[in-house]
Each structure stands twice: as structure tokens, then as C-alpha cells.
Amino acid sequence: MAEQAKSSAAPVLSTGDCPLSNAPFTPGDAHTPASGSDSATVSQAEAEAAIRTLIRWAGDDPEREGLRDTPARVARSYRELFAGYAADPHDYLARTFSEVGGYDELVLLREIPVISFCEHHMLPVVGMAHVGYLPTNRVVGISKLARVVQGFARRLQIQEKLTAEIAGAIDRILEPKGVGVVIEAEHSCMTLRGVNTPGSRLMTSCLTGVIRDDARTRTEFLRLAMNK
């Protein structure tokens, strides 16, 4: 992620100062990662053998007592951390509710935990997402918004792609008047290595429909999302 920020000349600023990008987004542009079917061809034993190789490469002995069970533990933890490959987040939005009593204002869920992994270094990306939409005549259960975020997050990717995919899924399935997604996250590839900048957070946004095009609605969404 650090390399990408550097190449695009986009500064990685503190949460309070980071400007939000309002670049146009066309639903359908976001590409859903492969379902992960190829993982079925890799056995648990092969995964554990690869981890043993990494331990030896790092300079330790995978057969010593403290590391003997580590390959199995790491393989199990990776299965959990990359569970997004086994899910289709679009499915979480399949059930909607039309009895909204005429409600036609913003629906916004703030501070959804995000745990993802940088595809460049396979290091954790940890932060939160703020997701909102302006419904037409139906809404979705609020827990499903969190599940969509988790479903896309538990994969290898860059934050910009994650932001666009969440917005794209909500836009395509719910067909609202507009969608807004803001993610702020700390990238371990920057804070634990490389430029070593603990505390720096990357902010990305993807806005569609009236939330992007109508200045008043956009301002309301960003104010609510950033709690200002």
C-alpha cells in the first residue's frame, strides 16, 4: 500500500486532515475477487509445509517445542482471516424490507470494524468503515451492511478496491438513490515496516448517485459519517 500511495502522490494523512475523494464511480466497475475455488487444490498439509518453510527461512527451527504446532495454528487462522473468499457478500443483501413507513432519508451505519490484508505484503489493514445509502422503497437489515463489509474485507486487496466493491454491491442489489462508503484504516505495511509511520491512517471514499452528485446530500452524508 505504501508503494501505491507514493506513486499516486496521495499523502497518507491523519484521520482529521485527510481529504475525501469524490471521484465518480460507476456501479459494476468494482471487480469481485475470485471465489477462492483454487484453494481446494491446496491441502492442509501443504499449507502447513509452506509455513514450516517460512519459519526456516526466517531463521528458526519449526521442530522446536514452541513452534511445533505453529504451522497448523497459522493455517487455521488464515482460513478464518481469509473467509471472504468462501462468501459472496451480495447474498447478504438478498432479503430486503419494503415497509419503511415512507422513510426516505439517509440510512448510515458507522464504525463497522474492518480487518483486511494488504495484497502487496500480506500484512493486516485494520480500521473502520462508515456505510450509508439513500433508499428508494426498500431497506436491508443493518447487520447485513456489516456482513457485506466483512465479506469483502477478509481478502487480499488494496483499500481503494475494498471501498469500491462495498459501494458497488449495495448499489447494484438495493438500487438506492445513492450510496456512500468511507473507510479509514491503518496499514501495517507502513506502520510496522518500510517508512515506519505508526498512527498514520489511509482514508478512502466511494460515493454514488445523489450522495455523490447532490452537494447538500453529500455534505450530510460526510458529516454524519465522520461524526462532525
Under 8 Å between Cβ of 2 and 187: yes
Q: Exactly one of 4, 90, 120, 175 is catalytic; which is it?
A: 120
Q: At 181, is the secondary structure helix, strand, or coil?
A: strand
Q: Exactly one of 130, 157, 189, 220 is catalytic; which is it?
A: 189
Is 118 a catalytic site residue?
A: yes
Cα(160)–Cα(146) distance, rounded to whole angstroms? 18
Is 18 a catalytic site residue?
A: no
Give the single-character DSSP code of 112. Answer: E
How far are the Cα atoms of 25, 46, 65, 68, 119 from residue 52, in angstroms, in the given order? 43, 10, 13, 9, 21
Q: Exactly one of 118, 157, 165, 184 is catalytic; which is it?
A: 118
Q: Exactly one of 130, 187, 206, 220 is catalytic; which is it?
A: 187
Is 159 a catalytic site residue?
A: yes
Under 8 Å between Cβ of 185 and 202: yes
Q: Exactly one of 121, 157, 184, 186 is catalytic; which is it?
A: 121
Q: Exactly one of 48, 130, 157, 159 is catalytic; which is it?
A: 159
Is 121 a catalytic site residue?
A: yes
- Which residues share a beta bridge with 185? 127, 202
Name the residues annotated as catalytic.
118-121, 159, 187, 189
